[in-house]
Structure 1
Amino acid sequence: MTKTLDLSKLVYDLAKAYPEVIDVLYNIGLKDIKKPGMLNTAGRFMTIPKGAALKKVPLTEIIAKLQDQGFEVINHANS
Structure 2
Amino acid sequence: MNKTVNLDKNIYELVREHPEIANIMLELGFTDIVKPAMLNTAGRVMTITKGAALKKIDMNTIKQVFQEKGFEIIE
Assess if the C-alpha contact under 8 Å between 2:25 and 2:34 holds in 1.
Answer: no
C-alpha distance in structure 2 between counterparts of 1:36 and 1:17, whole Å? 16
Shift in Å, 1:53: 0.4
1:47 alignment counterpart: 47
Measured on the aligned residues, the alpha-carbon RMSD in Å equals 0.9
Structure 1 residue runs of 4 or more that deviate by more than 6 Å after TM superposition: none
Residue correspondence of structure 1 range 1-79 to structure 2 within 5 A: 1-75=1-75
SS in 2 for 1:32: coil
C-alpha distance in structure 2 between counterparts of 1:12 and 1:5, whole Å? 12
Shift in Å, 1:49: 0.3
Assess if the C-alpha contact under 8 Å between 2:9 and 2:47 holds in 1.
Answer: yes
Change (3 A) 1:19 1:47: same
Instruction: Identify unmatched segments of 5+ residues in structure 1.
Output: none
Shift in Å, 1:33: 1.8
Q: Percent identity?
A: 49
Instruction: Identify unmatched segments of 5+ residues in structure 2.
Output: none
Shift in Å, 1:5: 1.1
SS in 1 for 2:32: helix
